[in-house]
Amino acid sequence: MGDARSAVVTGGGSGIGEAIALKLAEAGYAVTIGDIGSAGSEVAQRINAKGGQARFVPTDVTDEESVRGLMEGAARTFGGLDVLVANAGIPEAKAPLHELDLSKWQRVIDVNLTGVAVCNKWAVATILDGRRNTAEPRTASVINMASILAHVGQANSNAYSAAKAAVANFTRSAALTYAREGIRFNAVSPGYVDTPLLAQLPEETRSQMISKQPIGRLLRPEEIANVVLFLAGDGSSALTGSIINADGGYTAI
């Protein structure tokens, strides 16, 4: 199992994460899916049924030991760790600032920011540990999931916007820290993506989202996965510390 490049995808059980896991597997990566729900198991089964290599590990990204087990298990199973896609995240119940619920604020920060940091920490530790007895270590790529709300404001978005903006600058900092180590850090900022979560919204709300898109439609999860696949591979070797706005032109307005 050590011949294929190995990737970990958190939040890989649905939506963008599912599309990323499938896309990486199609490209020949051995994929470890970490998710707090059981849907990741079904995604792994689909990959394996098509002849790919995948496994599912129940993971809470706010729990260091859970994340450590995810990263180290991926390296043991697939002969190393080459790519992390820190995609796990949760939405925010929007509210005006003067009605801010600090417990809900903290939960969003814990998952969307601290969870990314914890995943990055243990991915890097695992990658460096795997290089100890390797004469010519392979380069590695870490891709963090930000958002258009890392770059533009939105009314009543408090913790989510703060967390995603922080993820962007956290990614830049990590990129500088490990630039000479052959570990690249980049982030993707998706716009409005047609995920199962958005499918549950009222049609009026969806129409308003589409009206704000310069390309006139919602993005597809597979389009975000294509960007991640590019950042994972050697074709993006010149990129580290970059934040890619995969938003259909939203932030160009």
- Residues designated catalytic: 160
User: What's the rounded Cα separation, in Å, for the pair 19 and 230?
Assistant: 14
Tokens for 84, please give them. Answer: 């992390």
Helices 102-109, 159-177: axis angle to 10 degrees equals 30
Beta bridge partners of 144: 86, 187
Q: 155: which DSSP letter?
A: T
| Beta carbons within 10 angstroms of residue 188's beta carbon | 26
Residues 199 and 216 sit within 8 Å (Cβ to Cβ): no
User: What's the rounded Cα separation, in Å, for the pair 137 and 126?
Assistant: 13
What's the helix, strand, coil split of the chain in %, to 5?
A: 50, 15, 35
**Beta strand segments in the chain, E:** 6-10, 30-35, 54-58, 83-86, 140-145, 183-190, 243-246
